[in-house]
Structure 1
Amino acid sequence: MTIEIKAPTFPESVQDGTIATWHKQPGEAVSRDELIVDIETDKVVLEVVAPADGSIAEIRKGEGDTILSNEVIALFAEGAVDAAAAAAPAVAETVEAGAADAAGGAIASPSARKLAGEKGIDLASVKGSGKDGRITKEDVVNASAAAPAPAAAPAAKPASAPAAVAISASGERVEKRVPMTRMRKRIAERLLEASSGTAMLTTFNEVNMGPVMELRKKYKAQFEKSHDGTRLGFMGFFVKAAVEALRRYPAVNASIDNDDVVYHGYQDISVAVSTDKGLVVPVLRSAEHMSLAGVENAIRDFGVRAQQGKLSMEEMTGGTFSITNGGVFGSLMSTPILNPPQTAILGMHKIQERPMAVDGQVKILPMMYLALSYDHRLVDGKDAVQFLVAIKDMIEDPARILLEL
């Protein structure tokens, strides 16, 4: 029985996707619910799994091809593994187009074969990094970058060329060119949109993290024990402080829709999470109703699933205010960029001990710089500064968060 494998249904905000990686090739045995292909969109990488036990009969969309929602990307042959193995030679001859013979028995993805043909690279000389030694597109790119210079160059040199050739090879400046991913392209587009489409300004302040650090030190073990292993971090305090500050300054929680200002009666906090493929911003829905433990647990879950590529598009859509923490990478100060259509974003940074004047005396305190970037079209400088001061006051005296002072 042949089953059509279709691309997932994309949300309205996503027009199309790109085939990122085929994890299974035609004729290769596949178990039910086993991952067979990754589809990359502007926001997230979607996984498509096998509908049953069997094998892929035909790949209709190769790696790098653009696909639409619900478009047929492959045909799947349902059946026992033995039957699939028997059909493999014929399928391989059609889909691989003689690639095994051309590559001296090497197995390569369609995109790798295409690129190798364009660059004149013998696949037999390329070491595959994929499953079962399969040659991927990146392997061909790396082989191309590491390939020696054409023979014509040394031929033009005198007979004493061997030494010169060795020096040239050792001093070669290698370049690697890879296509920009869809997610990286979308991030670039949004950053340019924020820079050119908003009147963005940034205001700074500094906060003494001593009180929060003392609170964590005192209750860390008890908190973790009482909340099933959830660790007490700093993000929970900043999210709760931001929620209270957003209530006081609704313009910071608003957004601009053409000529209208939309004031949100809820606080959906977007939390920036870094992954190998780019920055994603999953949303804490109705953060005003979440406990400190709930916030910490949700952020930890976002971080784990973001690294695994398991976040859904719905989880990264929306948000009324963003928080980003460059301090985890050692950033002392930065200017965060707005996440349209939001009108403000809070930037946290590295905690660093500095000498501070306290009551006429110099003390060493754990200080953090805070940055608030805001859209001056909607948020006045006065509101932005007071918003940041409100967060500073609540972090320096955490009881204010509980008492809503």
Structure 2
Amino acid sequence: MSIEVRVPTLGESVTEATVATWFKQPGDSVAVDEMLCELETDKVTVEVPSPAAGTLGEIVAAEGETVGVDALLATLSEGEGAAPAAKPEAKAEAAPEASGGGEAVDVMVPALGESVTEATVSTWFKKAGDTVAQDEMLCELETDKVSVEVPAPAAGVLSEILAGEGDTVEAGGKLAILTAGEGAAASAPAAAPAPQAAAPASSTGKDVEDAPSAKKLMAEKGIDPANVQGTGKDGRIMKEDVIKAASGAAAAATAPAPAPAPAAAPRAPSPAEDAAREERVKMTRLRQTIARRLKDAQNTAAILTTYNEVDMTEVMALRNQYKDAFEKKHGVRLGFMSFFTKACCHALREVPEVNAEIDGQEIVYKNFVHMGIAAGTPQGLVVPVIRDADQMSFADLEKAIAEKGKRARDGKLSMAEMQGGTFTISNGGVYGSLMSSPILNPPQSGILGMHKIQERPMVINGEIKIRPMMYLALSYDHRIVDGKGAVTFLVRVKEALEDPRRLLMDL
């Protein structure tokens, strides 16, 4: 029986995708739900699973082709080809029997977070035949949102690695086979020295796990963790710490060398020597998505930025007056983001084109505000969306912002939580930025950039006074927003922040 493999629903307002990668070729046996290919849209990467077990027939849409929703991708022959696909699994199950009398334990892909169905094996810290302790890190997986470390489920010997570095694995899939119990001693005579090898790590007095990239680099360079000063949380050793320690050791080794003769001219390093000091790291999926979307925004929209400055005196005074009572009643701290969100919602009602978007030959005006709050994470910039922000109170906004920020840092945001925004606020001031020009978050037409609050001398009623000032930047799509509308929007935000009572009076 022939089954059609078609393009699934691609998400809100997305009508087409590009075939990025085929994981299977015609004639290959596939299991039900096994990934056949990967599609890329301007918002998200979509994987297409096999609708049934069988044999992949004809590939209709090749890599690089653009396809619409429900377009035919390939055909699948159900039934006959299903049996061969089970052979690798049978081999994996049979392998532990040869390793000794110990119990075979499967090392599985752990839960990867909401809406994340697959990951890439980035690094194996152990190889087949190595002795491992329970909860010792075996490998590191990388997803679009977060890196996941996989610990050993039991003490024993790593018998077989089923997914090598660079392989894509599904949530709940099998990574390796571990021989526990008696089989551990029979398979690896080197198991006895393992406690001694672990001694340097325990002698540091830390009970935190060092960064996987740092451990890998220390192993490559033969650096003792005891000689590296960790700068991460709770003394965790990061990759930068290892690089610093390695460069310090190299400098110490070369220090006693005699000075070169005065007549010797400095020798320029060769390209090969420069290349040896370079480090190439593959971009994460999240970073690739960020890069693609930012470039698409520049190529598509007519981005222009207008600037203003706001005196934060009144907002800071109001916050200082009520922050303790606010936190006591609502259980959340009163920050500046709720003031800016309220001010933007207020201004968007007067200048609705900043809250609109272009769809083909039409302008879509939104009669609601789904506010995107840009958040920096170790993996990259993400923009969780607070829906119907214009209907929320200060307390509701602060709670939502805090909750979305925590989920972003933990890598637990779903794609649904990052879609549907109508306007975005980006706060570069938390990193010390004094002035910047933010890039639009398509298909939105406006983004407000907040910056560092800095005291500056200002002329107030003919007198020079020191005031806490902040530069504001509004980047907007000039195809839909005129200069008058952009300036008006920014002035309304400035007025609301310099006199917060206007927000209460809806002025």
TM over 0.5: yes
Q: 2:222 aligns with which of 106, 110, 125?
A: 125
Task: Report the counterpart of residue 353 of structure 2 in structure 1.
Answer: 251
Q: Does residue 1:200 correspond to 2:295, yes or no?
A: no
List per-residue Cα deviations over 1:265-314 (Å, max 9, x = no partner).
33221112222332222222221232212222232333344334343443
**SS in structure 2 opposite 1:350?**
coil
Quote the offset at 1:336 in angstroms: 0.9
Moved more, 174-183 or 286-295: 174-183
When residues 15 and 401 of structure 1 are mapped into structure 2, their CA distance, relative to the original with a 3 A threshold, is same
Quote the offset at 1:196 in angstroms: 2.1
**SS in structure 2 opposite 1:196?**
helix
Instruction: Tell me, in whole angstroms, the C-alpha distance in 1 between the residues paired with 2:311 and 2:406.
Output: 29
**SS in structure 1 opposite 2:470?**
strand
Quote the offset at 1:348 in angstroms: 0.7
Task: Report the counterpart of residue 180 of structure 2 in structure 1.
Answer: 84
Instruction: Tell me, in whole angstroms, the C-alpha distance in 1 between the residues paired with 2:167 and 2:241.
Output: 22
**SS in structure 2 opposite 1:339?**
coil
Q: Does residue 1:60 correspond to 2:162, yes or no?
A: yes
Q: Does the 8 Å contact 2:146/2:379 carry over to 1?
A: no
List per-residue Cα deviations over 1:173-228 (Å, max 9, x = no partner).
99441414313333222222222222100011111111111101211111111112
Q: How does 1:220-369 map to 2 (within 5 A)?
A: 220-228=323-331, 230-369=332-471
Q: Does residue 1:72 correspond to 2:173, yes or no?
A: yes
**SS in structure 2 opposite 1:252?**
helix
Quote the offset at 1:367 in angstroms: 1.5
Counterpart amino acid of residue 307 in structure 1: R
Q: 1:45 aligns with which of 146, 149, 162?
A: 146
Q: 1:381 aligns with which of 483, 488, 502?
A: 483
**SS in structure 1 opposite 2:180?**
helix
The structure, 1 or 2, with the larger RCO (C-alpha pairs under 8 Å, 6+ apart) is 1
Instruction: Tell me, in whole angstroms, the C-alpha distance in 2 between the residues paired with 1:86 and 1:347.
Output: 62
Q: Does the 8 Å contact 1:232/1:296 carry over to 2?
A: yes
Q: Does the 8 Å contact 1:23/1:35 carry over to 2?
A: yes
Counterpart amino acid of residue 84 in structure 1: A
When residues 303 and 11 of structure 1 are mapped into structure 2, their CA distance, relative to the original with a 3 A threshold, is closer
Moved more, 362-371 or 200-209: 362-371
Counterpart amino acid of residue 202 in structure 1: T
Q: Does the 8 Å contact 1:394/1:400 carry over to 2?
A: yes
**SS in structure 2 opposite 1:61?**
coil
Higher share in helix: 1
The unaligned stretches of length 5 or more in structure 2 are 1-103, 199-211, 231-236, 252-256
Q: Does the 8 Å contact 2:121/2:169 carry over to 1?
A: no
Query: CA RMSD for the aligned pairs?
Result: 4.6
**SS in structure 2 opposite 1:364?**
strand
Task: Report the counterpart of residue 61 of structure 2 in structure 1.
Answer: none
Instruction: Tell me, in whole angstroms, the C-alpha distance in 1 between the residues paired with 2:398 and 2:125.
Output: 34
Instruction: Tell me, in whole angstroms, the C-alpha distance in 2 between the residues paired with 1:3 and 1:281.
Output: 37
Q: 1:184 aligns with which of 283, 287, 290?
A: 287
List per-residue Cα deviations over 1:72-96 (Å, max 9, x = no partner).
351466xxxxx72444467879xxx
Task: Report the counterpart of residue 312 of structure 2 in structure 1.
Answer: 209
Percent identity between the aligned chains? 47
Counterpart amino acid of residue 299 in structure 1: I
Instruction: Tell me, in whole angstroms, the C-alpha distance in 2 between the residues paired with 1:10 and 1:232.
Output: 30
The unaligned stretches of length 5 or more in structure 1 are 78-82, 150-160
Instruction: Tell me, in whole angstroms, the C-alpha distance in 1 between the residues paired with 2:473 and 2:322.
Output: 28
Quote the offset at 1:25 in angstroms: 7.8
Task: Report the counterpart of residue 155 of structure 1 in structure 2.
Answer: none
Instruction: Tell me, in whole angstroms, the C-alpha distance in 1 between the residues paired with 2:462 and 2:379.
Output: 49
Instruction: Tell me, in whole angstroms, the C-alpha distance in 2 between the residues paired with 1:15 and 1:258.
Output: 33
When residues 8 and 271 of structure 1 are mapped into structure 2, their CA distance, relative to the original with a 3 A threshold, is same
Instruction: Tell me, in whole angstroms, the C-alpha distance in 2 between the residues paired with 1:124 and 1:361.
Output: 63
Counterpart amino acid of residue 188 in structure 1: A
TM normalised by structure 1 equals: 0.71
Counterpart amino acid of residue 45 in structure 1: V
Moved more, 137-146 or 388-397: 137-146
When residues 164 and 318 of structure 1 are mapped into structure 2, their CA distance, relative to the original with a 3 A threshold, is farther
Tell me the number of residue pairs that the alignment of Structure 1 and Structure 2 aligns. 361
Instruction: Tell me, in whole angstroms, the C-alpha distance in 1 between the residues paired with 2:117 and 2:443.
Output: 19
Q: Does the 8 Å contact 1:350/1:369 carry over to 2?
A: yes
Quote the offset at 1:369 in angstroms: 1.0
Counterpart amino acid of residue 340 in structure 1: P
Moved more, 44-53 or 310-319: 44-53
When residues 382 and 297 of structure 1 are mapped into structure 2, their CA distance, relative to the original with a 3 A threshold, is same
Q: Does the 8 Å contact 2:448/2:474 carry over to 1?
A: yes
Q: Does residue 1:5 correspond to 2:108, yes or no?
A: yes
When residues 175 and 403 of structure 1 are mapped into structure 2, their CA distance, relative to the original with a 3 A threshold, is farther
